[in-house]
Structures are given as structure tokens and as C-alpha cells.
Amino acid sequence: MRKLFTCLQLAVVCLCTPLLYAQQASQYSLFLLNPYAYNPAYAGMENTLVATGVYRQQWSSLNGAPETQHLNIHLPLYMISSGVGFKAENDNIGAHRTTQAVLTYAFQRELGRNSMLSFGVSGGFMQYALDGGKLRTPEGSYEPAGVFLHNDPLLPEGKLTTGTPVFEAGIYFQWNDLALGMATQPIFAPVLEAGNSGGFGLEPVRHYLASLSYQFEFGRNLAIKPAVLLKTDIIETQTEISTIIRWRENIFAGASFRGMSTSARDAFVILGGLRLNDRTTLAYSFDIPLSALEVANRGSHELLLRYELNKPIGTGKLPPVIYNPRFF
């Protein structure tokens, strides 16, 4: 069956207007293993240094489908009851590429025994690039060889790049095995304009994210953690329900369902992973498509590698005691 729509065709349709609304919040199926990716207030909440890398290939076999790389690192600062972090992300969709890097500060406050409230903010820079060489228009002239004209004043024939500062904010509450978070991405980002005429503009869309999770312990070996992640731009809302089952903290598996309404239904996810050693975790997820695009793609793949120092920052092995030989 012919693919009626590809991401490249959608890019041309979107760019027919002077102002393009972007970018959509990146999609991660392994969000339970990477909370800092969508909430800056989570920085430092694990009381140790944590570094996470993610590679996601969405809608494989679909021409111009999204491809995302993500890297973050965060750790606590006990002396000032805070956490800090850094995250970078590169998101490619057809002719579009969005890259951003932000620094995070989170202030943490204990509310009682086993409860913590954290407020986080991130600030950095977002760059948007459009490769006009990957676009085609019905009125364009691409023959004979060497001729390349879109015949559209809004579309570049070459590469177009522009950037802007970007800011995020979030709040995260944890009490025993219960966790609740809310975040905004971005909370502020100006319209990106490119070209001397100002005819092309890109307006980042503000997204609101809310998460809820609880871990049930069954003895010393088994734990089950269900979670809900809600994403909305006020106009459209998507909900994802996920559950992970862990055995002896070494092996885990789970499943997710993304999109509770007919219009937002996206995928059924199966996931699993294991601890390679006491500090490194490897996880993989596969999205089984359920949307109208299921006829044009073979699912989505996501790979996550996580490293944790596994000890509080600022502590370490005490130096050996050296006795004075006079008192032997």
C-alpha cells in the first residue's frame, strides 16, 4: 500500500504558512527510567550522580521519521540542599532538526520523614535547522540537473539555521514510594525568525507534563511500579500508562499504552532491561503502532543506557589509619 503521507510532505505543508509552530515535546517510551528528561525538578533526587543516554528511532521504515538522541547527567549538592544537572537533545524529523542544551538547578526541601519537595528550573539554548535541499514543492524546478528552485519565497533552497534561549520549570514531590511531578517545556522561548525579510518564523509550543508513580514492594525480591504520564499543549492531550516489574533489582520488564482516546491513540509498548553491573543498566523498548500510521511503519525502537555512581556524592572510603611507630 502506498504511503500517503511522509514526514517530508508534512514539512512542506506546515511551511506554507509564515509562522510554523514547533517543536513538539520529544517522545520517550522509557520515561520511568529517565524522569529528569521531562522534569528539571528531578535533578539530584537520587542522592548520587546519574548519567543517562537514549537513542530513539520512531516509526521505523517511514521516510523522514523522527530520530532522537538524548544525554543527561545530574547530581545532588548536599551543602545547599539542591541538585544540578545538564541535558542535551538532538531531534531530527525529515528536513527539520532541533538541538538544545540546558543547565538545571533544583532546590530541595524536606517536608518530613521520607518526604521531599523539589523546585527546578533549566536554562539554555535551542537551535533549529531546516535543510531546504530535502524539500520538494509542486511548483518547484528540479530538472535539468543542476537546477534547484522551490519557487516559493518561504522555503530555502539551502540550509537555514536559527536559535533562541529556552527555559523550563518543574516541581517534584516524593513521599516514600509515591512520586508526583509537574513540568513545563518550555516555560519561555521567543519566536525564532530567519531570513532578512522575516517571512519565516518558528514558535516553540509550550507543553505541560504531569507524572504520577508508586512502587509496590512484595518481599525483598519483587517490586511493581505503575505510572501515568500526561502531556498536553492545552489543545491536544496524550496520556501514557506504564508498569515495570523488577526482580531482585537486576531484571525488569513491563508494558505501556499511549493514547487513551481514539484521536490520541498511538502505541502499545513492550520494554525490558537488566543491570549489567552494580552501576550500569541497559534497557530497550519496542512500540507497536496503533495509530493511522501503522500501515506505513514497523514500530519504534528505543535504547537506554544508564550509569549511577551508587554512593552519595562527597563521601568515600576513609583513609587508612597511620599509627605512630613510637606507640607500637
Q: 24 pLDDT exceeds 90?
A: no
pLDDT band at 14 (very low <50, low <70, confident <90, very high): very low
Q: Helix count (H) and strand count (E) of the chain?
A: 1, 18
Mean pLDDT of the chain: 84
For the chain, the first-to-last Cα distance in angstroms comes to: 87
More confident residue, 293 or 247: 247
Question: pTM surpassing 0.85?
Answer: no
Angle at the Cα of 66 (from 201 to 75), degrees rounded to 5?
90
Buried (b) or exposed (e) across 291-314, using 16+ Cβ within 10 A? bebeebbebbebebbbbbeeeeee
For residue 273, CA distances in Å to 285, 287, 303 come to 9, 15, 10
Q: Which three cell numbers stand for residue 106?
A: 533544583
Q: Which of 58-62, 180-184, 207-211 has the weakest average pLDDT?
A: 58-62
pLDDT band at 311 (very low <50, low <70, confident <90, very high): confident
Q: 289 pLDDT exceeds 70?
A: yes
How many CB atoms sit inside 10 A of residue 245's CB? 17
Averaging pLDDT over each range in 10-24, 67-81, 182-196, 309-323, which range is the top one? Answer: 67-81
| H-only helix segments in the chain | 7-14
The CATH architecture to which 7-310 belongs is Beta Barrel (2.40)
Read off the pLDDT of each residue in 115-122 and give the average, rounded to a whole number: 96
Q: Which three cell numbers stand for residue 254?
A: 513491563
Q: What is the pLDDT of residue 275?
A: 95
More confident residue, 253 or 26: 253
CB 54 within 8 A of CB 314: no
Q: What is the pLDDT of residue 119?
A: 97
Q: What is the pLDDT of residue 316?
A: 46
pLDDT band at 320 (very low <50, low <70, confident <90, very high): low
Q: Which of 6-10, 23-27, 77-81 has the weakest average pLDDT?
A: 6-10
For residue 185, CA distances in Å to 226, 237, 243 come to 24, 14, 24
CB 44 within 8 A of CB 174: no
169 phi and psi angles, rounded to 5 deg: -150, 155
